[in-house]
Amino acid sequence: MTEKWKDEAWAQDIWYSGKVTRRKLVGYGAGAIGAMMLVPAPWRAAFGAAKPYKIGSEQPLSGPGAIGGKTAVVGLQMSADRINANGGINGRPVQLVLVDDESKPDVGRRKSQKLVEEDDIDVHVGGFLSNICLACMPVWQEAKIVNMITVCLDTTLTTTHCNRYTFRLHDYAPAQAVAFGPLLAKMGKKWHIAYADYAWGQATRDAYAEEIKKNGGEVVGMTGIPLGTPDMTPFLSKISGNFDGLFSIFFGKDGVTIINQAYDLGLSKKYKMAGDGSITEPTNLPAQGSKVDGFVAINRYIPIFQGPLDTPYNKKFVEDAKKRLIAVDPSGPAPDKYVQSNYEALNAMKIAMEKAKFEGRKDTDKLIGALEGLEVKLGYDFPQGDKTLRKADHQAFLTEMIFEVRNGGYKLLEAVPKDKTLVPPACKFTA
Amino acid sequence: MDAIAHFFGAIPFELLLIQTVNGIVTGMILALVASGLTLIFGIMDVVNFAHGELFMIGAYIGVVVLATTGNFWLALVISTLLVGLLGAAMQILTLRPLIGRDPLTTILATFGISLILQNYALWQFGPTSRKLPEPITSSFTLFYLQYPWYRIVITVISAAIIGSFWAFLKYSKFGVWIRATTQDRVMAQAMGIPVPWVYTGVFALGAAMAGASGMLFGPLGSINHTMGLDWVLKAFIVVVVGGMGNLGGSIVAAIFISLLEAYAAIWVSPAQAVIVSFIVLILTLLFRPTGLFVSISK
């Protein structure tokens, strides 16, 4: 039964006639190998001729951080797909190896170790929560793997805790504070700072307190509220007195809580409200409703087509991101800074890997050399704009957007060029 | 005398009164969450790790029903009923087969359910926080603050739900069955009480209370997949301090701990104030492990 096909006329010539000789087999085989060598690079990569680069990424895909982690991965995947569609890096495709840190530092550290030892990644592009980034930095340093941070904002990552393997292509609080300081001084002289009481919130608080003072203002009080406090009212009730503005530093669901509860207690009517742009990410706006109207904030990226963001590159980026975001969020949000920075970080890594002719971990030193001082330009790879990755501390400087939230959207007030956000480096690299 | 006068003079009485109101409001929300938890533990010996997720599901159902009907109070009733039904289904499908087994199995089962529900919500609703608009937006002047009436309404509703539940336990036939089952499960069964269905009913009631509290608290914050975690940790502390399974004790403990935290926030930082509840928990476990308010009638 199974051999019947061999009797068919069409099969006689190729198989059953006994005409497949050893000479023919060698000839056809050599022809096939030669043909494969001649096909263009993208096809070689697609057919698996090239070993993929393993890009490890530790992200919070569950737990409280998942609110941003889910969108962060969208940016990373967008970049990886785009790189692979355009021939990969050095003719090799990229393969993302994602791990879920569950929004916990101990889990993050363990999973990072797994990326190094079991998955054998070439580079790491990721990190969302600052306390997890800080916990994982020694892992990348010990393994001598380049770590491109994509979201973590804690100042010390590129200052007191810096190391030569870690880079940050996005902004940090001191640069934002330098950019925002002059406008805050115009808004009011006396400020009270309410902040998320953990690594990032404390570092950001210090940066703003310093800039407010430098611009002739005064910080009359500070209220640190633990992460994930569902009812902030007992702590916000204490905020009173004679001052002009309440500056808030929170992110994720805490950003919604502070806006809603400060409004409910009448603080938003009594004081000018300003703060870190993480409070007003697109994923938070629906839950804040009209209570956030008039809030002035700073962020590296907001999904608008105004000022320096009114470019075909940003329009394409927003359009592509929206198509993907709807798969992780049925409400179809616009891309936030987490999508943007993950997208751009991997694109920057591609440029550096090509420049360094990076083949694997053995070339880490060459890759560090290529990343140090890297300049990237506005385009489809970098829709947010130009960036400079400073050699002295591996910290990037970029345009900052100061905006007001109104009617569920953003109105750009000022775009501060990257040169006006510079702060002196405060990092000493060790081995 | 001067020192005493100075001490009393240094107390900000306005803030003290504001914090008393805050402590009672937060305490009543916490009491509603904790009473469901303690009820389930007291009767079934089940530590329900999915209680926070039932709280969260209640809020999400509220968002959907409110968007459809536009009526907050109707959404409150429907979400309470649906979460109660979900609780009944959970008990029948996962916990009933575990009756009589090692308590660790029920802990693992409810922990597994909590992960499923949390990730289901993230998958179904996405990472964008949702809003539940409060049905009452007016406020009154409380010294230097504008205090929202809705917070007072929550307190009253929570007290009403807990009071109705207490009356239900005391006077209804099912309440008598529940109390009998709590006292002696084997004897209750021997007397013809359908113990498995009592368990199912109790779990459904506890779940419904979590759903109601999620819906009531929703307008004060944001609706997201982890919103229950923040409340349930404190609810566990309340249940231990109040005496495991002691309904009255849990309510008193919820108000006691919330007031302590609110008063502490006057003098110390919020991070230190939050530690107060943990200190109370540790002291309770050390010196009165049966609960601080165990003498209060169950």
Q: Are A120 and A54 in contact (CB under 8 A)?
A: yes
d(CA A166, CA A156): 12
Please list every residue in chain B whose beta carbon sits closer than 8 Å to the beta carbon of residue A229. 230, 270, 274
Of B127, B139, B269, the CB nearest to A71: B127
Token digits of residue A298: 């700073």
Token digits of residue B271: 């991070």
Q: Using CB atoms and an 8 Å cut-off, which of residues 67-86 of chain A contact chain B? A: 67-71
| pLDDT value, residue A9 | 63
Token digits of residue B210: 């979590």
pLDDT in tens, B91-103: 999 999 998 888 8
Inform me whether the pLDDT recorded for B232 exceeds 80.
Answer: yes
d(CA A305, CA A401): 12
ipTM at complex level: 0.92
C-beta contacts of A104-108 below 8 A and 24+ residues apart: A104/A63, A104/A132, A105/A129, A105/A131, A105/A132, A105/A134, A105/A135, A106/A135, A108/A58, A108/A132, A108/A135, A108/A136
Q: What are phi and psi of B163, to 5 degrees?
A: -65, -45
Place of tokens 């013809």: B192
Which has the minimum average pLDDT: A277-281, B8-12, B83-87?
B8-12
For residues A182-206, give the mean pLDDT. Answer: 95
d(CA A259, CA A278): 12
Test the B interface: residue of A193, A227, A253, A261 with most B CBs within 10 Å: A253
Q: Using CB atoms and an 8 Å cut-off, which of residues 247-286 of chain A contact chain B? A: 253, 256-257, 260-261, 264-266, 269, 282-284, 286
Inform me whether the pLDDT recorded for B142 exceeds 90.
Answer: yes
| pLDDT value, residue B43 | 85
Please list every residue in chain A whose beta carbon sits closer than 8 Å to the beta carbon of residue B213. none
Of A69, A234, A286, the CB nearest to B22: A234
Establish if A242 touches chain B: CB-CB under 8 angstroms.
Answer: no
Test the A interface: residue of B118, B131, B222 with most A CBs within 10 Å: B222
Inform me whether the pLDDT recorded for B9 exceeds 80.
Answer: no
Angle A235-A238-A241 from CA coordinates, rounded to 5°: 145
**Helix-then-strand count for chain B, H and E:** 12, 2
CA neighbor of A65 nearest in space, from A5, A168, A146, A150: A150
Q: Which band of pLDDT confidence, cut at 50, 70 and 90, is reported for residue B7? A: low
d(CA A135, CA A221): 30
Of A62, A230, A265, the CB nearest to B145: A265
CA neighbor of B210 nearest in space, from B26, B23, B25, B30: B30
pLDDT in tens, B30-42: 999 999 999 999 8
Q: Where are the domains of chain B?
A: 18-287
- Which H helix or E strand runs over B110? helix B103-125
Place of tokens 């980026």: A317
pLDDT in tens, A12-36: 555 545 555 666 656 666 665 555 5
3-state secondary structure of A195: strand
- Which H helix or E strand runs over A222? strand A218-225
| pLDDT value, residue B11 | 72
C-beta contacts of A116-122 below 8 A and 24+ residues apart: A116/A56, A116/A140, A116/A143, A116/A145, A119/A54, A119/A56, A120/A54, A121/A54, A121/A55, A121/A56, A121/A97, A121/A145, A122/A53, A122/A54, A122/A55, A122/A358, A122/A360, A122/A361
| pLDDT value, residue A26 | 63
C-beta contacts of A389-394 below 8 A and 24+ residues apart: A389/A167, A389/A169, A389/A348, A390/A425, A392/A425, A392/A427, A393/A158, A393/A159, A393/A162, A393/A425, A393/A426, A393/A427, A394/A158, A394/A162, A394/A164, A394/A166, A394/A167, A394/A168, A394/A427
Cross-chain residue pair A289–B129, CB shorter than 8 Å: no
| pLDDT value, residue A11 | 57
pLDDT in tens, A157-172: 999 999 999 999 999 9
d(CA B195, CA B202): 10
Place of tokens 């198989």: A15
| pLDDT value, residue A1 | 45
Rg of chain B, C-alpha, whole Å: 20
Q: Does 1.10.30 match the CATH number of domain B18-287? A: no
d(CA B290, CA B284): 8
Superfamily of domain A174-299: Response regulator (3.40.50.2300)
C-beta contacts of A45-51 below 8 A and 24+ residues apart: A45/A84, A45/A87, A45/A88, A45/A91, A45/A92, A45/A93, A46/A93, A50/A88, A50/A91, A50/A92, A50/A93, A51/A92
Going from the C-alpha of B160 to that of each of A86, B155, B173, B259, the distances in angstroms are 64, 9, 20, 20
pLDDT in tens, B270-291: 999 999 989 999 999 999 998 8
Token digits of residue A16: 């059953």
CA neighbor of A136 nearest in space, from A118, A155, A114: A114
Which has the minimum average pLDDT: B48-62, B92-106, B283-297?
B283-297
d(CA A83, CA B174): 65
3-state secondary structure of B48: coil
Please list every residue in chain B whose beta carbon sits closer than 8 Å to the beta carbon of residue A60. none
Which has the minimum average pLDDT: A114-118, A273-277, B290-294?
B290-294
CA neighbor of B50 nearest in space, from B7, B3, B93: B93
Which chain A residue has its CA at the smallest distance from B138's CA? A264
pLDDT in tens, B152-168: 999 999 999 999 999 99
CATH number of A53-171+305-397: 3.40.50.2300
| pLDDT value, residue B244 | 84
Inform me whether the pLDDT recorded for A43 exceeds 70.
Answer: no
Q: Are B237 and B278 in contact (CB under 8 A)?
A: yes
A151: left (phi over 0), alpha (psi -120 to 50) or beta: alpha
**Percentage of chain B lying above the pLDDT 90 cut:** 82
Of B22, B115, B128, the CB nearest to A329: B128
Q: Which band of pLDDT confidence, cut at 50, 70 and 90, is reported for residue A2? A: very low
For residues B106-129, give the mean pLDDT. Answer: 94
Fold matches, A53-171+305-397 and A174-299:
yes
Q: Are A238 and A224 in contact (CB under 8 A)?
A: no
Q: Where are the domains of chain A?
A: 4-38, 53-171+305-397, 174-299
Angle A419-A422-A424 from CA coordinates, rounded to 5°: 145
- Which H helix or E strand runs over A298? strand A296-299
Cross-chain residue pair A229–B274, CB shorter than 8 Å: yes
Which chain A residue has its CA at the smallest distance from B272's CA? A226
Establish if A329 touches chain B: CB-CB under 8 angstroms.
Answer: yes
Amino acid sitting at position A350: K
pLDDT in tens, B183-229: 898 999 999 999 999 999 999 999 999 999 999 999 999 899 999 99
Token digits of residue B227: 């919103």
Token digits of residue B9: 């003079």
What's the pTM value of the predicted model, to 2 decimals?
Answer: 0.88
- Tell me how many residue pairs between chain A and chain B have CB atoms under 8 A apart: 146
Mean pLDDT of chain B, nearest integer: 92
